[in-house]
Chain A
């Protein structure tokens, strides 16, 4: 059971990548498959590394990220 979970709304994400810079653990990267609007959304690489700090969700201008924690 992971300590924290990051849920990304792929259709809302515009691939601005601000969350990838906000994440202190480098858990987020831009994926290589685009969504229905042509953007390359962000994805979680290693959820085990996520501390559930919520910085990614805080800085996301599209409110496309939800974060949960134990």
Chain B
């Protein structure tokens, strides 16, 4: 199959088009502008629609409207822009509308800077918007994985009628790697009977994101929770690498996963028994798999390009049975292999008590 050298941002755009996305609404923000620039010429080529909105607030609501018609639609942004989209994401989740949002994270909080970071784990996974909803969150670590997860994102969005966030970072968006656009075989999806397309000869339909009857709103919330339980049972994904019986388990997502892979390899050369656990679905978080993998290890080292976000979920999963340590940098500072290895040595020297 043909291998093409592509920048992450452009690869996710091309994969979206091949996955059937025909509408894009977005607003410029570094470091993901190549996504909209690419789609501005690519979508018209396939009869699709590209529209630069007046803000991220407008963009996410244009996504809401197009999603309500049953179309495959996406937007993209970075942390500050995704913050503006939170109201819209809460509405999309409440209305059970499918869509894909790509977040190429940068340093935060506030305007932060334009360098890569993983500052938006909380925003994506715990929900920056109001109400009891979750986004499906996928965290690619290579440009190829970004492509593969983009196909999956549109499938999951339609299957579960839920917004899906692809959580990348500026490094992934800007780096160039060879990719193949291999379209996965997904099971068929049911027709979108709920879509709003004009009532035709039938009864009218409506898509709303409110219910003023308390029992009604609770029922909607319970329905959403059942959906999230189903996601946890069926769609968790993760990757492992390294020693089958590690002393230290390294946990990281996205581009940090690649750095940790190098740490495992370097450590092995020096006789260390290390392994990597890399969650690919941040929601649903691969809790059971992590719990299993954590059995028997001396300690877990969570590494992130933030100051401790996924860390909290790892601590929740292991419930104090294994000590959890953390190394993080943010603002565009990237943890290095040697720095992480030095920390691991430090852990191994001390007597780690539970």
A–B contact, 8 Å CB criterion (strictly below): no
Please list the residues of chain A having a beta carbon within 8 angstroms of any beta carbon in chain B: none
